[in-house]
Amino acid sequence: MRDPRTIERVSESVPTVDGAGVKLRRVFGFNERHSYDPFLLLDHFGSDNPQDYLAGFPWHPHRGIETVTYLIAGKVEHSDSMQHRGIIGPGDAQWMTAGSGIIHQEMPEPGADGKWMEGFQLWVNLPATLKMTDPRYRPVDGSEIPRIRGDGSEIAILAGDFAGKKGATPDLFVSVIYLIVAMDAGARLKIPFPASYNAAAYLYRGEASFAGTALHAGQIGHFPPRGADQGNTLDSIEASAGAGGASFLFIAGLPLKEPIAWGGPIVMNTREELRNAFAEYEAGTFIKRGASGA
């Protein structure tokens, strides 16, 4: 394994409003459309004021992507055009493949204290060959997510392989790693991953240093791939937690390197495909196939 990969760019998450008025922090999104390929968007939502999030994300369409929601506190109620309904709570996740088209709503609720709600939503792009695949909805109970504990850290494996364990969502359309990492003060951690993967670490608690570059809460560090044709070569990142400990998301994936035509909740490869998707939505012909999953 080579020297740990270094951060090329540090960015600050930006306060914004989405859905029907949900206040959140956009870690990356439309303006960085190719930077984190195969990832398109990462939002961090969290507040102890229910008025910041109760309006939620009412019925809206998706096509051409997967949405991944992971919750730290509170609840999110999901319902969709495929008759799936569910509530995810702290430590739970939801991996939804929009594929050819799904219409859904996500409505946040406070936790037991009646105030706090916090979590993340990540968008994973689908390759051109799978843009119109059958949609599927996959709830992931927190007890299903493998966790590795030791040396002052805990790593929850939502997707990908780590330390000999497979993530809770193994049958992915796009090859990605998604880890939720918590580190005690002064702890050190190495995370191996393929050299061909594009990677990033989003710090949402505390402070940490990655190969000499310090991040504080609300910042993301980007680790671009070192080469496209690396075979089974492994890279790694090394994290060192600050005096107050650190918590971060680590995401990595094989870039698709395809054109992106993006309009709100729909991401295709051409402007014509995008226009067609919205025309179908207006005409009531957006939903194409039944969904698989629980």
d(CA 240, CA 225): 21
User: In Å, how far are 29, 131, 182, 197 from 16, measured between CA atoms?
Assistant: 11, 28, 26, 29
d(CA 154, CA 113): 25
Check whether 294 has a pLDDT greater than 50: no
Contacts of 93 (CB under 8 A, 6+ apart): 68, 69, 70, 71, 139, 140, 142, 145, 158, 168, 169
Q: Residue 106's closest CA among 43, 32, 151?
A: 43
Delimit the CATH 2.60.120.10 region(s) of the chain. Answer: 12-144, 145-258
For the full predicted model, state whether its pTM sits above 0.75: yes
Check whether 65 has a pLDDT greater than 80: yes
Q: 269 near 259, Cβ under 8 Å?
A: yes
Mean pLDDT of the chain: 94
pLDDT average, residue stretch 234-243: 96
**With bands split at pLDDT 50, 70 and 90, how would you rate the model's confidence at 226?**
confident
pLDDT tens, residue by residue, 32-52: 989 999 999 999 999 999 999
Looking at the domain that runs over 12-144, which CATH code has it been given? Answer: 2.60.120.10
Could you tell me where the beta strands, DSSP code E, fall in 63-128? 65-73, 75-80, 85-88, 93-97, 102-109, 117-125
Q: Residue 45's closest CA among 68, 67, 66, 72?
A: 72
d(CA 177, CA 46): 23
Assign domain 145-258 one CATH number from 2.60.120.10, 1.10.3720.10, 3.90.1300.10, 3.40.50.2020. 2.60.120.10
Check whether 170 has a pLDDT greater than 90: no
pLDDT tens, residue by residue, 3-42: 899 999 999 999 999 999 999 999 999 999 899 999 999 9
User: If you compute the radius of gyration of the chain from its CA atoms, what whole number of angstroms results?
Assistant: 18
